[in-house]
Chains A and B, each alone.
Chain A
Amino acid sequence: AQSVTQLDSQVPVFEEAPVELRCNYSSSVSVYLFWYVQYPNQGLQLLLKYLSGSTLVKGINGFEAEFNKSQTSFHLRKPSVHISDTAEYFCAVSDIGLTGGGNKLTFGTGTQLKVEL
């Protein structure tokens, strides 16, 4: 079984400032890691994912995340945020599964990013 911890429920930040949203996971097996963004009253949109290879993953909208196996972390970063980045961000993990196709996702509780002028 896996678990995901997002330590910050809310992160306020000024526009054009950098931001880091923290995510730690727990699993006894190898995992895939994901970050999703949810805008108000909408579904989830994939920001980025780590499957294998380079531990630094670049996603859409200027976001990136770094997989740190020793610290079991997958923190999301953006060097300069915009008002339009205001949304809920979910970190998720899935085990690799028997066929390598990945299994069900386990989500963190989410972090509300609020970008202010």
Chain B
Amino acid sequence: GAVVSQHPSWVICKSGTSVKIECRSLDFQATTMFWYRQFPKQSLMLMATSNEGSKATYEQGVEKDKFLINHASLTLSTLTVTSAHPEDSSFYICSARGQGAVGNTIYFGEGSWLTVV
């Protein structure tokens, strides 16, 4: 089946630094990618929707200048957490939706643990 890969799977960074998380669709072209955030023992909250070649659409309450999303190709989207703070520590998950044969199914990455110290 279709595979979505996230990298890194976990990262620890110092407060004030920036960290980038990559989301790749390995065997299909992802016209749309979604970024979610999940706090421990809570549900996934959509942060933003990105379409290849255009600006991401952010959900209400999500700071677009802090969470930079780039979807430069049909197989790669990146989330950059800028000037990270401890409260940004969370599990970040991306998902990708393809077209054509892949149909309406959305595939999720394995997630990335971010710890800001």
A interface list, Cβ under 8 A from B: 32, 34, 36, 41-46, 49, 51, 90, 94, 100-102, 104-110
Contact B106 A102 (CB under 8 A): yes
B34 / chain A contacts, CB cutoff of 8 Å? 104-105
Interchain CB contact (< 8 A) of B97 among A41, A42, A49, A102: A102
Contact A110 B104 (CB under 8 A): no
Given A43-B6, A43-B110, A44-B93, check contact A104 B46 (CB 8 Å). yes
B92-117: CB near A (< 8 Å → 1, else 0) gives 01010101000111111111010000
Contact B111 A108 (CB under 8 A): no
Interchain CB contact (< 8 A) of B95 among A101, A105, A108: A105
**Secondary structure of the B contact surface, majority rule:** strand
Task: Report the minimal beta-carbon distance from B90 to chain A, rounded to whole angstroms.
Answer: 13
Contact B97 A101 (CB under 8 A): yes
Contact A100 B105 (CB under 8 A): no
Task: Report the minimal beta-carbon distance from B100 to chain A, rounded to whole angstroms.
Answer: 10
Task: Report the minimal beta-carbon distance from B111 to chain A, rounded to whole angstroms.
Answer: 4
Contact B109 A49 (CB under 8 A): no
Contact A43 B111 (CB under 8 A): yes
Q: Tell me how many residues of B have a C-beta within 8 Å of chain A.
A: 23
Which of chain B's residues has its CB closest to A44's CB?
B108
B113 / chain A contacts, CB cutoff of 8 Å? 41
> Is B54 close to A, CB under 8 A?
no
B45 / chain A contacts, CB cutoff of 8 Å? 107
> Is B77 close to A, CB under 8 A?
no
Some 9 contacts from A to B, beta carbons below 8 A apart, are A32-B104, A41-B113, A42-B110, A44-B93, A49-B104, A51-B104, A94-B106, A101-B103, A110-B42
A43 / chain B contacts, CB cutoff of 8 Å? 6, 93, 108-111
Q: How far is the CA of A1 from the CA of B93 in the complex (A)?
A: 22
B110 / chain A contacts, CB cutoff of 8 Å? 42-43
